[in-house]
Amino acid sequence: MRPWSSIPIEDCGEPLQALPPALLRMEPHPYMALGAPYGTSGNPFQLRLGVVQHLLDAQQQLVEHDPRLRLSIFDAWRPIAVQAFMVDHSIAELCRERGVEARSGHAFDQVVADVGRFWAAPSRDPATPPPHSTGAAVDLTLSSSDGTPLAMGGEIDAIGAVSEPQHYAGREDSEARCWHQRRQLLAEVMGAAGFAQHPNEWWHFSFGDQLWAWRKGAAVAVYAEAVNSALTS
């Protein structure tokens, strides 16, 4: 359970919408490249209609701050089947990194706990959907106008303290100060456009889901699990 899991959801009924060309994409999509089960009609680069507009607002504020910069989308809508696939993948990868072979015991439990700080459980309960499955959450970074991502002091999806938004705050060396300033700029333009940031991830922002409601003090979330219209038409 997350701190936001108890917040009720009253879905507003907005459809998913493909991201417009004005929003850059980091392709090939990383999870599709791993074989995540999106299905033949699954498009990860889509979000709820209202969320897309807020994302465009954030980019406009970024461009006004520095015309050389753009938002670059790493991941957006994520079906629950993909969430489950990526949780399993992340646990297996971290086990390999730490030399954990048995899928039981303290070391394995610690891997699961560490992954769980960053990856929401693939809950099928309509009261507790993973943020990305709602079409209200987006993972993104800053890039130059030609799409070249800027260094942010840590990779998207990295498991560990390096991913926390304030990890480089107060550091004295110039490189760390640069990374902190870039993370702050991303948070500022997204926040000004109404988004809420995940407390553990510099790259993850939500608008309208339970995480957003929790951080904004809203009584309800307005986005439940989203259904891909391409799969139901």
Catalytic residue among 14, 64, 175, 201: 201
Known catalytic residue at 27: no
| Tens of pLDDT, residues 195-210 | 999 999 999 999 999 9
3-class SS at 58?
helix
Going along the chain from its start, the domains and CATH numbers come out as 16-80+126-232 (3.30.1380)
pLDDT digit string (tens) for 10-58? Answer: 999 999 999 999 999 999 999 999 999 998 778 999 999 999 999 999 9
71's tokens? 């938002």
- Is the pLDDT at 229 greater than 80? The verdict is no
pLDDT at 228: 78
Residue 162, both tokens: 């390096």
Report residue 36 CA to chain centroid gap.
Answer: 16
112: Cβ contacts below 8 Å, ≥ 6 apart: 91
- Percent of the chain at pLDDT > 90 equals 92
The pTM score is 0.94
141-147-151-154 Cα dihedral, nearest 10 degrees: 50
Over 80: is that where the pLDDT of 230 sits? no
